[in-house]
Structure 1
Amino acid sequence: SHTLRCLRNLTGSVEEPIYFYSDSNDLVRYMVEELKNETFLDMHADWFQNNEVDSNALSVVKPLQLVGRDMSERNAHIDRNKGMKVHEYYNVFADLIIGIGARCISYGLGYYAVLAMKIANTQCRILSTKETWGVYVKANERVCEVENPLGAKVIESLRFRDRNATQS
């Protein structure tokens, strides 16, 4: 949600559609589909009452026009999923092609959108979170100034939910 907040701040628009993509199908499904689905919201109402991360995501996504590709197909990681059939990589290239055509790109520490940004040579770009390690520290020159009140809570919340899902 912080990346979306940064993009909205960069473009100054809530009306413009945002193509949301990530190397995590679960994250895209959650942000694009589930947070707009009243049945899902009713079934998981306690998440939005008791979890700051979920309630923040909902408040950020609600006014936006988020779109994404069909998440029923697996999102292959080109660097890790070797030996797959050619068609199993199509979704990655669909994201790349759409990203190349984007007016602005906001990306996080996973750098999933960076190749599209570099191919397009877009100047309308922003890194949502300051990097403090690794080879991309140079990217900090264009870091989002919008405060991220949740910080590490997002990662802890997702880890907690993953642990609970595997125990169920």
Structure 2
Amino acid sequence: MATLTAVLGDITEQQVDVIVNAANSRMRGGGGVDGAIHRAGGPAVLADCIARFPHGLATGDAGWTTGGELPARWVVHTVGPNFAAGERDRSLLVSCYRRSLEVADELGARSIAFPLISAGIYGWPLGDAVDAAVDTLTTADTEVADIRVVAFSAPTFERLRARVG
């Protein structure tokens, strides 16, 4: 059974097998978590995105690349729904977490660090973003033993910690 932990910190510094990237559908880097992961991982992450995902990924889907210079071996990229742009189907947000764990299982990963998907610039309401993450990750059928949700800000971490228990 997986252990779910809320962490306050920088996702790019997590010592895990997989770091999950909240990517945009083009898979070419961006701002927020996506930009931080690409900067920390170096050019190998972008080169692998271009090679593996020449047409990007659909919202709710996930795929992997090298971790490049990150401490993680792999990056699992997932495309969250953009609430601010009208993408409000919660099942797509839930799919991001499920698909990321499925990809991690295919890779044989035992530890994974997630950001709070779609809760930043994509504007998903924080309370529901926390609930979607925790509910999905605590009920998932996975071989991953160590699941972390990493918050960059103290207020978000406190919401996560209160919900994780």
Q: TM-score range by the shorter chain?
A: 0.3 to 0.5
TM-score (ref. length: structure 1):
0.37
**Which has the larger Rg?**
1
TM-score (ref. length: structure 2):
0.37
More strand by share: 2
More helix by share: 1
